[in-house]
Amino acid sequence: MATFFSDFVKIGPRTSVYTPSNPTAGQLIIVCTWLGAARKHIAKYTTAYQNLAPDARILLIESDVQTVTSSYQKQREFIKPAVSAVLDTLTECGYYSLPSGKTLTMERCNKLESKPSTSSSMTVTETPPKILLHMFSNGGTNSATQFLIVLHERLRQPLPLAGLLFDSCPAKGTYWKSHNAMALSLRPKSIASRILAAVVVHCILIILYTWIACGNDNPATLMRRTLINEEMLGGASSGGDEVKGRVCYIFSEADEQVDWMDIKDHAEEARRKGWTVQEVVFEGSGHCAHFSKDAKKYVEAMKGMWLGSDRQERKGAYDDIHHT
């Protein structure tokens, strides 16, 4: 098992890729972290995925305040390496063809982290892609939203997903909950730094809400709409047939940063759109802290989304993972 980050290769700003020793073509897990997530906490999830899907690559997209307060143009420039990594995954299993002359990002990552390759290109197979997207808080949903917008410009069809996981999100983006999340991500230690962080965050939010008041789209609204947009996301194929999209919401009513009813509302909207929806509710756990509360329950939800499409024919969707 890889030591966290020693086997992750940086491919762009706050973006890195883990490649197992014998990766399966087309298998990829995308993890979009919450604002300012510490790597020791991120490691819980990446290690769990390394155990659940030992032959899958892991694409890690980290999030910070500087990212979410940048213009959309800058954010979409930052996210391009992640988009290239996903296109590489789709290319190697024959789902997508890169323009001639383009090299494969994943191949470059392999050369950086392992022995020199004797092949000038990846082996392209004809197998369905298996991609999972896991997001945390509105930092993660923001990264995923910008990623999907840029990806769709290249792919021009929905990204086929084995599953979509929301942890403590998506919120509707009220002023004070946005303030608390951003201030916490700055990790102020002293009283003076906490005061300074609060002032900085208030200035950012005042500019943001002034921008919204001028008729621009609320970023939270854009995120909530994009992440169940059938033009950008679709279910993975099974036996030649298209499967409806599958989504899992992980949350707690004790979360003080995101209103759990915001998450329930989004789940209901996904159901109306025809998605297969699961809700995994934790008791008493804080924001993005559900794994620490009950790791077994959390990992079962991850496992259910990764393996769920393989289980449906035998048992029906999600018979062996937690329901609410």
CA–CA distance, 160 with 44 (Å, rounded to integer): 26
Please state, in angstroms and rounded to a whole number, the distance separating the CA atoms of residues 222 and 213.
Answer: 15
Quote the tokens at residue 318.
Answer: 């999600």
Number of domains present in the structure of the chain: 2
User: In this structure, are 195 and 166 located in the same domain?
Assistant: no
Same-domain pairing of 169 and 191: no
Q: Is residue 321 part of a domain?
A: no
Question: Do 92 and 203 sit in the same domain of this protein?
Answer: no
The CATH number linked to 147 is: 3.40.50.1820
3-class DSSP state for residue 192? helix
* Structure tokens that stand for 106 in this block: 């994943």
Q: Could you say which of 217, 251, 275 is where a domain stops?
A: 217
CA distance 133 to 247: 10
Give dist(CA 80, CA 151) in Å, integer: 8
Q: Is residue 153 part of a domain?
A: yes
Q: What are phi and psi of 62, to 5 degrees?
A: -90, 160
Closest CA relative to residue 279, chosen from 295, 266, 296, 289: 266
* Residues 57, 123 within the same domain: yes
Number of H helices, E strands in the chain: 12, 12
What pLDDT, on a 0 to 100 scale, did the predictor assign at position 205? 58
Q: Quick one: pLDDT at residue 221?
A: 83
Are 26 and 53 a contacting pair, CB within 8 Å? no
Given this model, what pLDDT does residue 257 score? 85
In this structure, the answer to whether residues 70 and 203 fall within a common structural domain is: no
pLDDT given at position 240: 45
The answer as to whether 297 is a domain residue is: yes
From the CA atom positions of the chain, what is the Rg in Å?
19
Q: Can you read off the two tokens belonging to residue 70?
A: 């940048």
* Structural domain ending residue among the three candidates 217, 245, 279: 217
The span from the CA of 136 to the CA of 249, in Å, is 10
Percent helix, strand, coil in the chain (nearest 5)?
Answer: 45, 20, 35
The three-class DSSP label of residue 78 is helix
Average pLDDT for runs of 10 along the chain of length 324: 72 95 96 92 96 97 84 91 96 78 50 36 71 95 95 93 95 62 59 65 58 62 89 71 80 91 95 95 95 97 84 37 39
Tell me, what amino acid is at 190? S
pTM of structure = 0.79
Residue 287, in any domain of the structure: yes
Beta carbons of 130 and 236 less than 8 angstroms apart: yes
What does the buried/exposed string (b/e) look like for 119-145 if buried means 16 or more CB atoms within 10 Å of the residue's CB? Answer: eeebeeeeebbbbbbbbbbbbbbbbbb
Domain ranges, residue 178:
174-217
Judge if 85 and 151 occupy the same domain. yes
Are residues 73 and 191 located together in one domain of the fold? Answer: no
Is 31 part of a structural domain of the chain? yes
Using alpha carbons, select from 140, 130, 186 the residue that is nearest to residue 160.
Answer: 130
* pLDDT reported for residue 251: 97
Is 299 found in the same domain as 213? no
Q: What is the pLDDT of residue 113?
A: 41
Whether residue 320 lies inside any domain: the answer is: no
Asked if residue 241 and residue 186 are part of one domain, the reply reads: no
Decide: 144 and 32 in contact? Cβ < 8 Å: yes
Q: Domain end: 158, 190, 217, which one?
A: 217
In this structure, are 273 and 310 located in the same domain?
A: yes
Domain shared by 33 and 119, yes or no: yes
68 domain-assigned: yes
In a domain, 225, yes or no: yes
> Do 186 and 90 have their domain in common?
no
**Residues near 33 by beta carbon (within 8 Å), at least 6 away in sequence:** 42, 60, 61, 62, 63, 136, 139, 140, 143
What is the pLDDT at residue 1? 43
**What's the pLDDT score for residue 256?**
84
Query: Cα separations (Å) of 169 from 24, 93, 137?
Result: 30, 31, 5
